[in-house]
Amino acid sequence: MQPDLILTPFGKNATPGTIDPIPETSGPGDDPQQATWNEGFPLVTMTPLAAGGIPPKGQDFNGVLKAISEHTVFTGRGGQYKWSSAYVTASGGYSIGDVIQADDGLNSYVSLVNTNTANFNTTPASIGVSWALYAGRKTQDQATETLSGIAEIATQAEVTTGADDARFITPAKLRGAQATQAEAEAGTDNTKLMTPLRTRQLVNKAVSGIVGGARNLKMLIAAASASATLTADEIIVETSLGGTRYCLPGFNKTINLASVGAGGMDVGAAPASGWVAIYAIYNPTTGVSALLATNATSAVAPEIYGGANMPAGYTASALVSVWGITAGGLLQIGKQFGRDLSVALTTVLNITSTQAGFTSVNISAGAPPNAKTVSVLMNSSSSVSTSLSMFASPDGVTDAQQLLSTNTTQSVGIFRDVKVITPQIIFTRFNASGTVTLLVNIAQYSI
């Protein structure tokens, strides 16, 4: 149980002459019965009077009790001792575990060493070396490079300025100090941090090439399927024509027409017996790439995805393929190398008459609107031995290719890289005698 506090030092209001201060040691001229802190009451005060003893002075008793009780009252009211040069001189310094209050009364420090003579009030560097924070306003000292402690959280402005060496940076403030892609590309702010991703994006933008450019791009489908994998050593994508450019190395992504979003259709289902354009898409913020398919049956698909259903975060893209779809909504059998696609032979014209002049042929069954050239296989026959003359042309006027076979009843001609000027239209011409047949087939196209 806590005893009652002593609220008043003993003899605080003693009558003058009834109390004396106690000296550290006795000196010349002092009474022989004088009490001192060093010697206490001298032997003469304990010698019988008959043997020459002298009684102790009541003033000394009052003085001793007053001095001791002043400390009792001081500590009883919560007082703490401050650093004392007199104590250090007299004792040689503080010992391990001694707790001393700072001069401002706000913090207390504990000695970490014996014979500690350092004054932490005037020598702050001793804090953390011979003194440690014990209690007070702060739970820790200000942190330094050599001292554990606390520090204030830096503001965003302080982080950006970068001149303060005494405040902590939180993850949020660090994120705020990172350059955005726009800031990195502008190259005018010298206060923002560049992350590896931003650096890579900036380097990617500086690469040469054109949108959709690729090295060793290929996609192979041996059996009709909803999914296929497209690979390339690298692919160039852009945010817009002439916009920010990125190079995607080691591209290896799968398209699945049964799903919607990144890696699937942009919206809805694949068009039965139609065409899908396949784009490489890229998210500059995360560095993630994917494939995205969109219906390209009725119009030329742009080189950069132009639909309204780009997955969130993906801002750059490039057309990398246009593929035929079966009646069941699957990717047709075929092979793609670069921008050239080889497909199953598809008949686009079957007639039993000659063509006196160039005639337009709709090749939409064998080539998509994006086809820039096609390879055409023409097979003609006649009931009599005759000259079989077959032509293929982009417009019926220029770049006409001819195959002439004489004295025969059958002829097969391959016309490679016939340019397509009007989407999904080429021109053919066929001259022969007798009862004739002409088949026009698409074997390959480029995009």
Answer yes or no: is pLDDT of 201 > 70: no
Higher per-residue confidence, 5 vs 416 = 416
Looking at residue 310, what is its pLDDT? 98
Looking at residue 211, what is its pLDDT? 95
Please give the share of the chain, as a percent, with pLDDT higher than 70.
Answer: 96
Residue-wise pLDDT tens digits, 325-341: 999 999 999 999 999 99
Closest among 296, 284, 218 to 245, alpha carbons compared: 284
Q: Is 321 exposed, middle or buried (0-12, 13-18, 19+ CB in 10 A)?
A: buried
308's CB contacts (< 8 A; 6+ apart) are none
Looking at residue 207, what is its pLDDT? 63
E strand or H helix that includes residue 64: helix 58-76
Q: Confirm if 325 and 293 have CB atoms less than 8 A apart.
A: no
Higher per-residue confidence, 284 vs 140 = 284
Distances (CA, A) of 169 to 132, 142, 161, 287: 25, 15, 12, 26
Please give the share of the chain, as a percent, with pLDDT higher than 90.
Answer: 73
Confidence class for position 399, pLDDT limits 50, 70, 90: confident
203 SS3 class: helix
Looking at residue 155, what is its pLDDT? 85
Answer yes or no: is pLDDT of 90 > 80: yes
Closest among 393, 391, 394, 388 to 402, alpha carbons compared: 391
β 288-295/275-283 pair status: antiparallel
Question: Half-sphere exposure of 429 toward its Cβ, with a 13 Å CA cutoff?
Answer: 18
Confidence class for position 206, pLDDT limits 50, 70, 90: low
Higher per-residue confidence, 147 vs 439 = 439
Looking at residue 138, what is its pLDDT? 60
Answer yes or no: is pLDDT of 229 > 60: yes
Looking at residue 149, what is its pLDDT? 67
Higher per-residue confidence, 368 vs 197 = 368
pTM above 0.85, yes or no: no
Average pLDDT, the chain: 91
Which two structure tokens, joined as six digits, stand for 40?
A: 């206490």
Query: Residue 192 — φ and ψ, nearest 5°?
Result: -100, 155
Which two structure tokens, joined as six digits, stand for 139?
A: 């739970």
Answer yes or no: is pLDDT of 379 > 80: yes
Angle formed at CA 190 by CA 184 and CA 194, multiple of 5 degrees: 45
Per DSSP, what are the bridge partners of residue 411?
380
Say how many C-beta atoms besides its own lie within 10 A of residue 249's C-beta. Answer: 12
Q: What's the N-to-C CA distance of the chain in angstroms? A: 96
Specify the range with the lowest mean pLDDT, choosing from 132-141, 225-234, 435-444: 132-141
Residue-wise pLDDT tens digits, 3-35: 888 888 898 999 999 999 999 999 998 999 999
262-267's contacts with Cβ under 8 Å and 24+ in sequence apart are: 262/288, 262/290, 262/291, 262/292, 262/311, 262/314, 263/290, 263/291, 263/292, 264/292, 264/293, 265/292, 265/293, 265/294, 266/292, 266/293, 266/294, 266/305, 266/307, 266/309, 266/310, 267/294, 267/307, 267/309
Say how many C-beta atoms besides its own lie within 10 A of residue 362's C-beta. Answer: 12
Higher per-residue confidence, 152 vs 273 = 273
Helices (H) and strands (E) in the chain, counts: 6, 17
Residue-wise pLDDT tens digits, 158-183: 877 877 777 777 777 777 778 887 78
Closest among 326, 299, 303, 301 to 221, alpha carbons compared: 326
